[in-house]
Amino acid sequence: MAAGTAAALVPIKSITMRSRNDKFIYQGGSDKPGPACEKLLTTLKSIQQGKIKDPFGWLDYVKEPKGFPSINGASTDGVNGVDGSIDELP
């Protein structure tokens, strides 16, 4: 399954132009994103998760409707998932 937020950044390792037999390699071909990409990824994710202010007005806040059914009797308290762990990566 894949899910997205409609706003994401993906680091580029290389670009190949087969018609010209050219290959442009970024960050020495490393599998890790460079420092600028890492900073952008961290900032974007932090804005999306509400950990830092959104200075650009990108976010639209969606509130849980009053009387919304709970999951297993537990209130979500307006956070992601029952225990707030949905945005945590393994």
The answer to whether 26 and 12 have CB atoms below 8 angstroms apart is: yes
User: Please, which pLDDT band fits residue 53 given cuts at 50, 70 and 90?
Assistant: very high
pLDDT, average across residues 84-88: 55
Check residue 76 and give its pLDDT.
Answer: 55
Backbone φ and ψ of 45, nearest 5° = -65, -40
pLDDT for residue 19 is more than 70? yes
Residue 83 pLDDT > 60 = no
